[in-house]
Amino acid sequence: MNPAHARVNGYNVQPMSHLDLAVLGSGNMGRALIGGLLRQGTRPERIRVGEPSAQARQALEREFGVTATADNITAVRDANVVVVAVKPQDVAAMLKPLAPEFARARPVVLSVAAGVRIAALRAWCGERIPVIRAMPNRPALVGAGVSGLYAPADVAAAQVDLIERVMGSVGEVVRVETEAALDVVTALSGSGPAYFFLLAELLAEAGGRLGLPAPAAHRLSVATLYGAGLLAHSGGGDLPRLRAEVTSKGGTTEAALRAFAAADLAGSVERAVEAAAARSRELAQQYDAD
């Protein structure tokens, strides 16, 4: 650990250049974050990974040049940021033995584990350890994710900024004011890619039924999904304006949108997102600390 590291309220707080990161779990999300941070200029020697699989550890060292160990205590030793990227059901057993090391090194812990709440994380890490939750989504795997981020009010602003930059390495970050809002984030952007995939599938099927060869319908649909996403993103996200620009009066798009409205698409989407948020709350209960 670099002795020049700053301490705020007794906790390690470093600029990104002095990030000493431990990533626990190197599946999809752990690897996405490691790749994102390296692309942003974090040096590989600043990243240590705790990962039980020898094969996965070799792959990490070969592909990313980071140090990987089966011993999580070694991985988190002197880290100022610890990322929890294992499956929600594995979090408790993984964190409990690390509490003495956390008490010594005082890192900030960032959990991306869906549904594992701050109270439970703190019970396992140690009550005085600052814990932040992020809910990323799968496009993080291609650096185009979006994460909802919740930090309790008692976490130092510099630490929240640091974590925002860690999550920012795989996409955009939207801060939310309450932990409960993460269930809505899960329902919107966490599950959201599947909603757009479903719409693209249905479009391709409809195109096929109307006479297009299936491969052509599929390509047209996927390329439309990509192009519309790119346009929405580069156009500043003014969705009503973007939609109006495609919708000429009395034209084809208007006919389709009228059919959507008649089928209560808005109501369907609202009910779908409500169902996902309710399920997120339900799932979260099983990970609460005993």
Ligand X SMILES: NC(=O)c1ccc[n+]([C@@H]2O[C@H](COP(=O)([O-])OP(=O)(O)OC[C@H]3O[C@@H](n4cnc5c(N)ncnc54)[C@H](OP(=O)(O)O)[C@@H]3O)[C@@H](O)[C@H]2O)c1
Query: Using the rule CB under 6 A, which residue among 24, 68, 166, 173 binds ligand X?
Result: 24
Close Cβ partners of 253 (under 8 Å, ≥ 6 residues apart): 246, 247
Q: Please give the distance of CA 216 from its chain centroid, rounded to a whole number.
A: 33
Token reading at 132: 């932040």
User: Shortest approach of ligand X to residue 169 CB, angstroms?
Assistant: 15
Helices of type H across 116-186:
118-125, 157-168, 181-185
Query: Using the rule CB under 6 A, which residue among 82, 85, 146, 185 binds ligand X?
Result: 85
The answer to the question of residue 94 lying near ligand X (CB under 6 A) is yes
Q: Kindly identify the residues of this chain, within the stretch 143-202, that bind ligand X according to CB under 6 A.
A: 190
x/- track of binding to ligand X for residues 99-138 (CB under 6 A): -------------xxx--------------------xxxx
User: Shortest approach of ligand X to residue 250 CB, angstroms?
Assistant: 42
DSSP-assigned beta bridge partners for residue 46: none
Close Cβ partners of 34 (under 8 Å, ≥ 6 residues apart): 23, 26, 47, 49, 60, 64, 66
Name which of 50 and 168 has its Cβ closer to ligand X.
50
Close Cβ partners of 219 (under 8 Å, ≥ 6 residues apart): none
Query: Using the rule CB under 6 A, which residue among 13, 16, 22, 29 binds ligand X?
Result: 29
- Cβ proximity of 40 and 169 under 8 Å: yes
Name which of 13 and 68 has its Cβ closer to ligand X.
68
Judged by the rule CB under 6 A, the positions of this chain that interact with ligand X are: 24-30, 50-53, 56, 72, 85-88, 90, 94, 112-114, 135-138, 190
